[in-house]
Amino acid sequence: MVARPPVMIVVERMKVEDLPAIHVIERESFSAIWPAHAYQHELEQNRSAHYIVARWGDEIVGFAGMWLLVDEAHVTTFATRGAWRRHGIGERLLLALLDLAAARGAHEATLEVRPSNVPARRLYEKYGFKVVGLRPRYYSDNNEDALIMTTDALEGRSMRERIAALRAAVAARPDIELGPDRLPVAADGPAQADGPAQADGPAQADGPAPSQPAEGSPGADETGIIRPSSVTRRPL
Ligand SMILES: CC(C)(COP(=O)(O)OP(=O)(O)OC[C@H]1O[C@@H](n2cnc3c(N)ncnc32)[C@H](O)[C@@H]1OP(=O)(O)O)[C@@H](O)C(=O)NCCC(=O)NCCS
């Protein structure tokens, strides 16, 4: 058997050149996708926005974003490429977001998630997010409520200990094994996507026109300035 080098995943800042790959992952992950110009605005104009990618070589296998608003980190988007799910990519991205949030002085992290999105809810729960409220009929595609999930104080002992233990567990994960198709081999069978997180049908079937920002996409007022208090956030 030929020994292969371990699959190295690097987490780094998202760049405008990454947007075509982000679009591919968006389409397989969300029913309402952000158009590239919305991301470009986030990357180039919104100083509260922080977007990261997980990269294997030249390939982007996941991405995530958040807004750092005063002392709160608000996760705006999060997805792993279908074939790469269940290999710790989501955890690496979340660790990076939480590290960045803590380093920038955020007191807590918060997000919205669909009650039906079990994979995402389990991931967030693992990292200490708890349900603190509900936004009724938040998701316009199916009128599903959003759960609001928030962490305890990022600087507090319980979160710091939790993150340290999870970071160690991620570091100790076995290498990701790739098949002949250069996609990860699932531990219990071939790699499979979980499918779009929000869709009741094909991606973007009932989404906005491509030229319009998606529901809850990062927005600017008529002056072109993003105002955190007035902007609707990407519903996760
Ligand atoms: C949610 C998502 C980002 C998770 O990414 P991932 O790279 O597969 O996550 P990881 O492999 O790091 O998994 C970490 C934890 O998440 C949870 N999890 C992930 N997928 C799960 C699944 N299918 N079922 C149950 N729990 C799951 C588990 O707690 C897991 O920890 P474990 O391995 O100890 O069981 C991914 O499923 C995805 O992209 N979904 C579509 C987009 C989406 O829903 N984004 C979030 C919107 S709120």
CATH, residue 164: 3.40.630.30
76 touches ligand 1 (CB under 6 Å): no
Q: Which residues contact 205 (CB under 8 A, 6 or more apart)?
A: 31, 199
Q: What distance in Å separates the CA atoms of residue 89 and residue 95, rounded to the nearest whole number? A: 10
Interval between CA 1 and ligand 1 midpoint (Å):
31
Active site annotation includes 125? no
Q: What distance in Å separates the CA atoms of residue 123 and residue 57, rounded to the nearest whole number? A: 25
pLDDT at 209 (0 to 100):
29
In a domain, 65, yes or no: yes
Neighbouring CB atoms inside 10 A of 167's CB total 15
Alpha carbon 152 to its chain's center: 20
In a domain, 213, yes or no: no
Q: Which of 39, 51, 124, 139 is catalytic?
A: 124
The 3-class secondary structure across 43-77, one letter per residue, is HHCCCCEEEEEEEECCEEEEEEEEEEECCEEEEEE
In a domain, 111, yes or no: yes
In a domain, 47, yes or no: yes
In a domain, 187, yes or no: no
Task: Write out residues in the chain with pLDDT < 50, as ranges.
Answer: 190-193, 195, 198-236
- Secondary structure class of 108 (helix, strand, coil): strand
- Ligand 1 atom index nearest CA of 89: 7
In a domain, 220, yes or no: no
83 touches ligand 1 (CB under 6 Å): no
Q: What is the dihedral of CA 83, 115, 112, 16, to 10 degrees?
A: 20
pLDDT one-digit tens code per residue, 138-171: 998 889 999 999 999 999 999 999 999 999 999 9
pLDDT at 202 (0 to 100):
26
| Domain of 40, in residue numbers | 9-171
In a domain, 81, yes or no: yes
Q: What distance in Å separates the CA atoms of residue 81 and residue 90, rounded to the nearest whole number? A: 10
Q: Which residues contact 122 (CB under 8 A, 6 or more apart)?
A: none
Amino acid, res. 22: I
Instruction: Indicate the number of domains in the chain.
Output: 1
pTM > 0.75: yes
